[in-house]
Amino acid sequence: MAKRTKFSKFRDLYEVIEELAVSYTYEGVVEILAERHDLILTTGTLTNYLYRYRKESKELSVATDNSNGKIEIKHEASEQTFVDLKGGKPIQESDTDIDDDSESDNQDDEEIDYDALLEEMKRKAVIKSNKSLLDR
């Protein structure tokens, strides 16, 4: 069986360590971890581990945030003119208005499910984040 790293033991004890840090100094936390949990750390290592763990947790929570915050996607309006190359006259003009609530001229256009796209992006971000954690 492979020997566990100190950080993996720390990760398992994180909740306990946070509770201890409320009542004790880091020196006291280090002593308690050594006595009760067989985890030998210096105060500097404890500080470093706390920083690393919180940073990783924050990155992961941002990547997997499933809040129902509204995301507004703005589409850029543009004017297009198509010209008959033989006659040089415009044959179609189109002025797209962002705020136009009228139905599309072409009902066959596929609607884009932005919520599904956002969820897919979040899922990929979590997978990428997990891979980077394993690479360390």
The DSSP element (H or E) to which 93 belongs, if any, is strand 90-95
**pLDDT class for 107, splitting at 50, 70, 90?**
very low
Q: Amino acid identity, residue 72? A: E
What pLDDT is recorded for position 40?
94
- Residue spans of the domains in the chain: they are 6-61
Rounded to two decimals, the pTM is 0.45
- Choose between 123 and 100: higher pLDDT: 123
pLDDT digits (tens, 9 = 90+) for 24-34: 999 999 999 99
Instruction: Over range 100-109, report the average pLDDT.
Output: 49
Instruction: Over range 113-125, report the average pLDDT.
Output: 79
